[in-house]
Amino acid sequence: MLERKPRKDRTDVTFVLPVDSPPGPVSVVGDFNNWKPGTHTLTPRADGTRAVTVTLPGGREHAFRYLAAGDYWFSEEGADGYVGVNSRLRT
């Protein structure tokens, strides 16, 4: 799930996943972090979900995927669209 909070010239995007699906550590990897795993790792929240917030420039489109333990890549079901295997996000 994606949560968005628009700001003046940027958008705070929170990437949210269930607490244990998939199990183990998960990071969001995309063009906004040069596709570098571990840069934005989801952490537990009080409601039992895992999340990480990334501030992105407004008015742009970004490609991303999730990377879980065991080299398991997966897409965001609530994305704004897809290009190949990558999820798309508009800010």
One-letter amino acid at 31 equals: D
- CA angle at 75 for the pair 9 and 40, rounded to the nearest 5°: 55
pLDDT tens per residue across span 25-34 = 999 999 999 9
Domain borders along the chain are 2-85
Name, in order, each residue with C-beta under 8 angstroms of 29's C-beta and a sequence gap of 6 or more. Answer: 35, 36, 37, 39, 40, 64, 65, 66, 67
Answer whether 0.85 is exceeded by the pTM: yes
One of 2.60.40, 3.30.700, 3.40.1130, 2.60.120 is the CATH number of 2-85, namely 2.60.40
pLDDT tens per residue across span 28-65 = 999 999 999 999 999 999 998 999 999 999 999 999 99
